Structure 1
Amino acid sequence: MSTASAMPTPMISSLQLLSTGSEQFEDPKLFRLWPDLSFAVRKVSQFMHNPLLAHWKAVKRILRYLQGTQEHGLLLHKCNDYKLYGFSDSDWVADLEDRRSVLGYCVFFGANLVTWSCRKQTTISRSSTEAKFQSLAACEADITWVKNLLSGLKIALTTAPSIFCDNLSTILLTANPVLHDKMKHFQLDIQVVREKINNKSLQVVHISGIE
């Protein structure tokens, strides 16, 4: 793949990979030798046990993306305004085979991206609001970890950390004092986030999503 044409992205955003519907890939061992790229690797790694030709084509696209981005990296900039904030989102029932949602978030310290995650949820969310809230709660946990790390380094934040979310129902849920029966299965996440908001140690802010 060292002479392959470069690709601008590691995976087509609309790509749906399944465990059936394509020819069997002839060399499963070769399929398992790709490098680690968060979202795209998470997608193809679900088929390590029985890779199809369609899966191998997706892996080769990842390698072509790497071929064109060898000079890319994460740049850390010096900043004087110590703000901690994150963006959370989820893709509800994204997996066509088990209908589990995919959660994702990223956390910034100033202008610097410091931590991120993209993974499939362990349970099936009954609504998009539940999926979004679980993603928000995971982002909050990571922000708390980074905040504690900064505290240990004697770095004080200028404002309370913020999480930006594009789902109004999720944001309203953080302020609603009433827990409905259909939300009891993720009540702990709601309580943790709401407590942080009530004691002014966290802000949840609405941000417009991409139409």
Structure 2
Amino acid sequence: MTQPKGFEDPVHPQFVCKLHKSLYGLKQAPRAWFNRLSTALLALGFQSSQIDPSLFTHHLENIHVFLLVYVDDILVTSNDRDFITFLISKLQLEFAMKDLGQLTYFLGIEATRNSSGLHLWQTRYIIDLLDRVQLLGIRPYRAPCVSGSKLSKFDGEILQDPSEYRQTVGALQYVTLTRPDIAYSVNQLCQYMQAPTTVHWTAAKRVLRYLKHTLDYGLFYKSGSFAINAYCDSDWAGDPDDRRSTCGYGVYVGSNLISWSAKKQPVVSKSSTEAEYRCLALVTAEVYWLRMLLRELKVSLASAPVAWCDNVSSLALASNPIFHAQSKHIEVDYHFVREKVANKDIILQHVPTSLQPADIFTKGHRADRFCFLRDKLSVIDLPASLRGNDKDKAQTVTTNIQNN
């Protein structure tokens, strides 16, 4: 607890302020606000998503409208601009709202369009982070972590004041919204929040050095097919302290990466097949969730989603109806994946390890290999022509509404 900036007491710098009343009303205010907004949207013909409670959809003949709510910030997108204007005018009759126009900045994420697609990046957020930790002038690196190295809780000396480390890693977690290339490194850093050491802080600064080298990089989305392809991989017994495996996956719609994860498994896997199969079950659940979401958005899939795995034993286990005694400990995951495969809800395919994009979520790599995998994630540098000004508008109209 510290005194707010601009209100420091020079006589008692160690004192803190006592809050007599919440600045934003009662504890139930957010729920009451959301209920009121939901009621207004439902009265206008919107439907609440069963998959994502913050998503509202409206379909009227050839008009499709999607509205996303985050506290008091609203994002609306549609293929009909006139309907967006009509919707905003209706909402403004009941709520004090301000139309911010075409989407350019939302929750720290910058958005820019051109004729080729949509760019999402967080340059301003990263610069503010570097300035906050006084590392704007650091030497940049080409990769966020060292190839083959593993962090351990026993490395280095315990930091006397871990607050800066925790704040920095927390900020890095938010950067992963548009930078999946640092997901593995940030996941490693998050595991040592309780007692970070000097080695962990050095690893965190290496991630910041990499972000300094790739300030304008971000996700790029372009129009195309709605075919779903998911890639999953695991690093068996990769943690040097507890020998748990790291699981990583990336889910693509067409050529666009829309979901990813780098996470340590909650239990120890007895074999690489078990580690890969647990990851396969995780990505199958994610694909099934995405498929239900697309159904709500009235998007039909021409073919079943495909999950790509580089472990032949895991693929064989999912296809073989005979359950072996040696694999009873993964029976739940087995039956889940097996059921989806039997129902043709998902198709399993093999991909060589050298071409596995999910490999970037499970371990560190050399700079050249890392850049190769990063390109497969569609994390690219923002074109110079799009920096600092708005360009061509996409076919779908998106607007950002802020509640006053």
Distance 2:347 2:147 in 1: 30
Alignment match of 1:65 (pick from 210, 220, 225): 210
Partner of 1:118: 262
Partner of 1:74: 219
Q: Which has the larger share of strand?
A: 2
Query: 1:17 Cα shift?
Result: 1.2
Partner of 2:315: 171
Pairing of 1:73-152 with structure 2 (within 5 A): 73-79=218-224, 81-152=225-296
Alignment match of 2:187 (pick from 42, 51, 57): 42
Deviations 1:66-121 (A, max 9, x none): 11222111111111x22001000000001010011010100000010000011000
Alignment match of 1:20 (pick from 148, 154, 173): 154
| TM-score under structure 2 length normalisation | 0.51
Q: Is the partner of 2:250 in helix, strand or coil?
A: strand
Distance 2:311 2:144 in 1: 27
Distance 2:227 2:155 in 1: 47
Deviations 1:98-149 (A, max 9, x none): 0110101000000100000110000000110000001011011100111100
Deviations 1:129-175 (A, max 9, x none): 00000101101110011110001111011111000101110000011
Larger radius of gyration: 2
Q: Is the partner of 1:33 in helix, strand or coil?
A: helix
Alignment-mate amino acid for residue 75 of structure 1: F
Query: 1:21 Cα shift?
Result: 3.3
Query: 1:185 Cα shift?
Result: 2.0
Alignment-mate amino acid for residue 330 of structure 2: F
Distance 1:193 1:46 in 2: 29
The size of the alignment, in residue pairs, is: 210
Alignment of 1:9 with 2:143, yes or no, is: yes
Distance 2:155 2:208 in 1: 23
Alignment match of 1:199 (pick from 343, 362, 377): 343
Distance 1:96 1:182 in 2: 25
| TM-score under structure 1 length normalisation | 0.95
Alignment of 1:33 with 2:178, yes or no, is: no
Aligned-pair identity (%): 37
Distance 1:49 1:195 in 2: 40
* Unmatched tracts of structure 2, length 5 or more: 1-134, 177-182, 356-404
Could you list the structure 1 runs, at least 4 aligned residues long, displaced by more than 6 angstroms after superposition.
none
Query: 1:202 Cα shift?
Result: 1.0
Alignment-mate amino acid for residue 49 of structure 1: Q
Distance 1:13 1:144 in 2: 33
Deviations 1:14-73 (A, max 9, x none): 121111132333431111121214211111122122211111100100111111222111
Q: Which has the higher contact order (CA 8 A, sep 6+)?
A: 2
* Aligned-residue CA RMSD (Å): 1.4
